[in-house]
């Protein structure tokens, strides 16, 4: 038996009530919104920014540019993308613009990803 065949059921049968329940649950979800959230965080620069915003409640665009080693324009572009997708918010104070995470859910997503990736390293994956 090949490796590919080992991860397949040997017979076809399914739990119809469970499948129907989960299909109905999926219909009520904003799957496209979930995909957008993960896509925006799948970018290395934006994940670095989101992680930095987990560590500090608020950072100005200048801080972010220095943290990620980019121009202010590049940092601003990534911050704007995070804001447009509902992951970050900003406030202006005089000539400075400060960004923070939109809410605790975003912080939890980033922290969970960090914890999980650390576990993968520990387990040699």
Which whole number is the average pLDDT over 88-93?
97
Banded model confidence at residue 94, pLDDT cuts 50, 70, 90: very high
Residue 103 lies in a domain: yes
pLDDT value at position 1?
59
For CA atoms 45, 77, 56, 42, the dihedral sign is: negative
Tell me the pLDDT tens digit for each residue of 100-120.
999 999 999 999 999 998 888
Residue 35 lies in a domain: yes
Residue 1 lies in a domain: no
Task: Say whether pLDDT at 78 is over 90.
Answer: yes
Report the number of distinct structural domains present in the chain.
1
Quick one: tokens of 125? Answer: 């994956």
Q: Where residue 53 sits, what CATH number does that domain have?
A: 1.10.10.10
Residue 93 lies in a domain: yes
Q: How far apart are CA 43 and CA 48, in angstroms?
A: 9
Q: Where are the beta strands (DSSP E) in 1-125?
A: 59-60, 88-93, 96-101
- Predicted TM-score (pTM) of the model is 0.83
- Which domain range does residue 61 map to? 12-122
Residue 43 lies in a domain: yes
Residue 6 lies in a domain: no
Q: How far apart are CA 89 and CA 100, in angstroms?
A: 6
Residue 38 lies in a domain: yes
Residue showing tokens 């104070």: 93
Tell me the pLDDT tens digit for each residue of 18-75.
999 999 999 999 999 999 999 999 999 999 999 999 999 999 999 999 999 999 999 9
């Amino acid at each position: 038996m090949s490796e590919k065949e080992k991860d397949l059921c040997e017979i076809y049968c399914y739990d119809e009530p469970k499948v129907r329940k989960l299909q109905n649950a999926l219909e009520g979800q904003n799957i496209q919104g979930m995909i957008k959230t993960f896509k925006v965080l799948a970018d290395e620069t934006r994940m670095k920014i989101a992680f930095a915003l987990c560590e500090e409640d608020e950072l100005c665009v200048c801080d972010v540019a220095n943290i990620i080693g980019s121009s202010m324009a590049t940092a601003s572009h990534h911050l704007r993308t995070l804001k447009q997708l509902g992951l970050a918010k900003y406030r202006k104070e005089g000539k400075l613009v400060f960004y923070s995470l939109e809410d605790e859910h975003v912080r939890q997503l980033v922290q969970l990803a960090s914890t999980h990736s650390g576990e993968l390293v520990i387990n040699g994956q």
